[in-house]
Amino acid sequence: MTERIERPPVRELERLARLVRWHVLNTVTQSKAGHIGGPLSMADLLVALYFSELSIDPEHPDDPERDRFVLSKGHSAIGLYSVLALRGYFPIDELASFDHGDSRLQGHPDMRLTPGVDVSSGSLGQGLSAAVGIALGAQKRGRDFHTWVVLGDGELQEGMVWEAVNSARRFGLSNLTAIIDLNGLQQYGWAAQQGRDRFDRSEPWGHADLPMILRGYGWTVIEINGHSFAEIFDAFDQVKRAAESGAGPSVIVARTEKGHGISFTRGTYKWHNGVADETQLALARAELLTEGDQS
Ligand SMILES: Cc1ncc(C[n+]2csc(CCOP(=O)(O)OP(=O)(O)O)c2C)c(N)n1
Ligand SMILES: [Mg+2]
């Protein structure tokens, strides 16, 4: 049945998030290609969504009453697949087929192939527009489900995002919530000092007041630490209140760390994508898995 599950204790959610991070690194390493930093920065947010907030049924992934989820930063697909597998949409063993030609789990999400994937994505900038369309359709048909979309901060440089930001408010889409994974890094990004590339990076939105801009568009803006389950749940409660009062769309600006949770991937654009060597994989295993965790 499509419904919310009872919210697990935070310690269990933290364990699930560590498992997700392990599956991300291990799967990409075995498949020899894929993204690491972006999937890791959003892991806690997706665990909180799928294990407490979304009204869904892994047995019936196409139930018309389900909440919708759009991963606009589609390059982070392996993070979504790991969460979907742990939530029961498909066997965890299937992650081993990631990015193979005949796999249901392509390098970027494909709604025709993967149970639980509502919108295909990967070309950055498009997901919010798709989510606006879904939410507008629900509004017009009087459907009760909520639509969620996760965007990257580098992705927000795409102009199409801002057309969607504007139209979502215009249409009064209280059934729509965006989450911005504000990890301060993108793929290569901007050198910290223009003209002098010392391999340090400045944040895509370091020069601007992003929450204020979004408030200016009329959205309800909630700022949190995207690695704190307490703050994530508090944000979900605020989203609910805003939705019930018909305040229009809401956005959770989640400050995160790219590559979070693994010592050698955190805080660097150099692990945007990459493949671990054996020593690194062993280190990550020690950092993420406890006895009794399945590997
Ligand atoms: C339209 C488009 N341009 C470029 C790319 C290549 N690309 C994939 S990920 C990425 C960086 C994205 O950065 P961000 O949105 O901050 O994601 P995150 O930091 O969460 O990985 C780029 C440029 C793409 N997928 N789509
Ligand atoms: Mg980013």
Domain boundaries, the chain: 10-288
153 CB near ligand 1 (under 6 Å): yes
Is-above-0.95 flag for pTM? yes
CATH assignment, 10-288:
3.40.50.970
Strand partners, 223: 253
Question: What would the pLDDT profile of 15-59 be if each residue is shown by its tens digit?
Answer: 999 999 999 999 999 999 999 999 999 999 999 999 999 999 999
pLDDT higher than 90, residue 291: no
Give every CB contact of residue 111 below 8 A, 6+ residues apart in sequence.
117, 118, 119, 120
pLDDT higher than 60, residue 294: no
256 CB near ligand 1 (under 6 Å): no
- Point out the ligand 1 atom lying closest to the alpha carbon of residue 152: 15
Question: How large is the C-alpha radius of gyration of the chain?
Answer: 18
Region 257-262 average pLDDT: 98
Note the pLDDT of residue 191.
78
Residue-averaged pLDDT of the chain: 96
Provide the token pair at 62.
């196409």
pLDDT higher than 90, residue 175: yes
Spacing, Cα 182 to ligand 2 middle (Å): 6
Say if residues 165 and 173 touch (Cβ distance below 8 Å).
no
Question: What would the pLDDT profile of 128-142 be if each residue is shown by its tens digit?
Answer: 999 999 999 999 999
Note the pLDDT of residue 193.
74
- Point out the ligand 1 atom lying closest to the alpha carbon of residue 151: 15
pLDDT band at 202 (very low <50, low <70, confident <90, very high): confident
Dihedral pair phi/psi, residue 35, rounded to 5°: -100, 145
Taking the C-alpha atoms of residue 116 and residue 71, their distance in angstroms, rounded to an integer, is 11
pLDDT higher than 90, residue 232: yes
pLDDT higher than 90, residue 218: yes
Strands 250-255 and 220-225: parallel
Tell me the CA end-to-end span of the chain in Å, nearest whole number. Answer: 29
Place of tokens 């400050």: 255
Region 68-84 average pLDDT: 98
Spacing, Cα 124 to ligand 1 middle (Å): 6
Handedness of CA 233, 238, 87, 268 (dihedral sign): negative
Provide the token pair at 149.
């979309």
120 CB near ligand 1 (under 6 Å): no
The residue among 130, 133, 3, 105 whose CA lies nearest residue 60 is 3
Q: What percent of the chain has pLDDT over 90?
A: 93
Note the pLDDT of residue 190.
80
Taking the C-alpha atoms of residue 15 and residue 194, their distance in angstroms, rounded to an integer, is 41
Note the pLDDT of residue 295.
54
